[in-house]
């Protein structure tokens, strides 16, 4: 399939490159041309008049638990520990792989309406999750949610070898839930796996004060970052989700190991966990990305809201309205996410890169007048501005219609049926 997008404003997200007027050609799953208007070259299967709207790289939701859609607005208004052990874990124990397949599809529809072209997924049954994303044509990087009660290091290795294939929509990075849900002996096996394949490892890290202090009590005063690093888990990089409470020594480890951080401002605010000082991490030279977390703790899978909160919390944390330029937040939501997820072909709009691209409607009232489009996306943008989401050269959402191989209402019906069953029993 060969597309021509013309009459477009283009934001490539390349460093120092401003928005310009031009057109983009897409051939199969790759971008063929990005630049000013030129005489048409060859035949196109479809030509789309962008009508002076914006084309840009898709957002990367760099931390989520998609199938938790069944807990949306059901497990609310509780502190994190009670939320996990009273509302979440008991209900998750009832989930089947098939349930997770269908519940993940509901989340995929929401990602598409938010302009998300790739997610960094952490949940219980990677095989059924991979099937859901593959069937919908959505890009997914998974990591393990290994803990003392589910999954195993052997399964992490199996998934690592199974899903890291060239040109696949699915890939896998080893990971575990958190320090506080894994025994030391289990974590040592994770470190062995990381060394065997020289692979990065990801986990929840320093989300709450309680998590950090209890880890220090268990491990001779070491924070989660320092303890995990002492085991060799991060010898080949990786990163942490949340990272609300990192010491200077923790930040130094992230920098030394080339690790990334994914901030989740809405979830951290809703659970009253705190605000990550992302400005400090960026100034230390750490790659920072943005995630929504799951639809149980957020409850919305909306990258526009996350960008605004990332910006606002940075200013609050530093008591400085000039902290963290909005263009940097846009970088975090696109390029930064691609980098921490290992999606180096999906970061910017450039010939040879994957055709993971979105169209933003600039004719909506919240995008007018046109002063600074990039900043306006962060401060005023919303899901209503997403006209199109293209992944791997295929349009999966456009003007309110989904193209995911299944009827939207059937996905809704199945998710509701599963939710009703799980919450009644």
Residues 6+ apart with CB under 8 A from 320: none
Mean pLDDT of 172-197: 98
Q: How far apart are CA 55 and CA 357, in angstroms?
A: 7
Is residue 80's pLDDT more than 90?
Answer: no
What is the pairing mode between strands 357-360 and 54-57?
antiparallel
Give the per-residue pLDDT at 181. Answer: 96
2-57+351-402 fold: Urease, subunit C; domain 1 (2.30.40)
Chain length of the chain:
425
What is the pairing mode between strands 2-10 and 20-27?
antiparallel
Q: How far apart are CA 316 and CA 320, in angstroms?
A: 7
Give the per-residue pLDDT at 425. Answer: 60
Widest Cα–Cα separation across the chain: 68
Q: Are 358 and 117 in contact (CB under 8 A)?
A: yes
User: Vertex 71, ends 65 and 75: CA angle to 5°?
Assistant: 110
The model's pLDDT over 350-383, given as tens digits with 9 standing for 90+, comes to 999 999 999 999 999 999 999 999 999 999 999 9
Is residue 186's pLDDT more than 80?
Answer: yes
Domain limits of the chain? 2-57+351-402, 59-340
Query: Of 59-68, 80-89, 153-162, 336-345, which range is least confident?
Result: 80-89
CATH 3.20.20.120 fits 59-340, yes or no: no
Is residue 154's pLDDT more than 70?
Answer: yes
Q: Name the token pair of 304.
A: 């526009």
Q: Tell me phi and psi for residue 61, to 5 degrees.
A: -80, 100
Average pLDDT of the chain?
96
Give the per-residue pLDDT at 46. Answer: 97
| Dihedral of the alpha carbons of 62, 66, 72, 74, in degrees to the nearest 10 | -110
Q: How far apart are CA 198 and CA 267, in angstroms?
A: 31
Mean pLDDT of 47-66: 98
Cα 324 to chain center, whole Å? Answer: 20
Q: How far apart are CA 203 and CA 233, in angstroms?
A: 10
User: Vertex 106, ends 100 and 108: CA angle to 5°?
Assistant: 100
The model's pLDDT over 304-328, given as tens digits with 9 standing for 90+, comes to 999 999 999 999 999 999 999 999 9
Is residue 23's pLDDT more than 70?
Answer: yes
Q: Name the token pair of 399.
A: 């003007």
The model's pLDDT over 328-355, given as tens digits with 9 standing for 90+, comes to 999 999 999 999 999 999 999 999 999 9
| Enclosing H/E stretch for 188 | helix 184-197
What's 92's DSSP letter? H
First-last CA distance in the chain: 47
The model's pLDDT over 294-303, given as tens digits with 9 standing for 90+, comes to 999 999 999 9
Q: How far is CA 289 from CA 98, 214, 359, 419, in A?
A: 30, 27, 21, 31
Q: Name the token pair of 418.
A: 């599963």
Instruction: Give me the percent of the chain exceeding a pLDDT of 70.
Output: 99
DSSP H helix total and E strand total for the chain: 16, 18
């Amino acid at each position: 399939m060969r597309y021509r997008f013309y009459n477009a404003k283009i934001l490539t997200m390349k460093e120092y490159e401003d928005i310009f007027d031009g057109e983009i050609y897409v051939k199969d799953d790759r971008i063929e041309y990005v630049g000013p208007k030129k005489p048409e070259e060859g035949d196109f299967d479809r030509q789309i008049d962008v009508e002076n709207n914006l084309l840009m790289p898709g957002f990367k939701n760099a931390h989520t638990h998609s199938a938790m859609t069944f807990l949306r607005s059901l497990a609310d208004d509780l502190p994190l520990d009670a939320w996990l052990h009273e509302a979440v874990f008991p209900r998750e124990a009832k989930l089947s792989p098939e349930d997770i397949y269908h519940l993940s599809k509901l989340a995929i529809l929401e990602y598409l309406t938010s302009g998300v072209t790739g997610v960094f997924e952490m949940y219980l049954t990677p095989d059924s999750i991979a099937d859901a994303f593959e069937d919908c044509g959505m890009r997914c990087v998974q990591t393990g949610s290994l803990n003392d009660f589910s999954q195993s290091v052997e399964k992490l290795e199996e998934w690592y070898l199974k899903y890291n294939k060239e040109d696949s929509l699915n890939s896998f990075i080893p990971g575990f839930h958190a320090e506080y849900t894994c025994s030391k002996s289990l974590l040592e096996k994770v470190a062995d796996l990381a060394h065997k394949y020289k692979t990065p490892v990801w986990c929840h890290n320093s989300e709450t004060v309680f998590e950090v202090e209890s880890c220090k009590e268990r491990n001779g005063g070491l924070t989660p970052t320092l303890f995990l690093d002492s085991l060799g888990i991060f010898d080949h990089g990786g990163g942490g989700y949340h990272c609300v409470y990192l010491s200077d020594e923790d930040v130094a480890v992230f920098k030394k190991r080339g690790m990334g951080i994914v901030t989740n401002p809405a979830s951290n605010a809703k659970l009253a966990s705190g605000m990550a000082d992302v400005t400090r991490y960026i100034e230390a030279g750490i790659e920072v990305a943005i995630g929504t977390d799951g639809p149980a703790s957020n409850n919305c899978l909306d990258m526009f809201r996350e960008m605004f909160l990332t910006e606002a919390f940075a200013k609050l944390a530093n008591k400085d309205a000039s902290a963290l330029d909005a263009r940097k937040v846009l970088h975090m939501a696109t390029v930064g996410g691609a980098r921490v997820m290992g999606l180096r072909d999906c970061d910017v709009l450039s010939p040879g890169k994957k055709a993971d691209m979105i169209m933003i409607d600039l004719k909506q009232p919240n995008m007018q007048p046109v002063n600074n489009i990039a900043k306006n996306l962060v401060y005023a943008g919303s899901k209503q501005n997403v006209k199109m989401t293209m992944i791997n050269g295929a349009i999966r959402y456009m003007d309110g219609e989904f193209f995911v191989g299944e009827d939207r209402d059937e996905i809704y019906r199945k998710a509701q049926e599963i939710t009703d069953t799980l919450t009644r029993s």
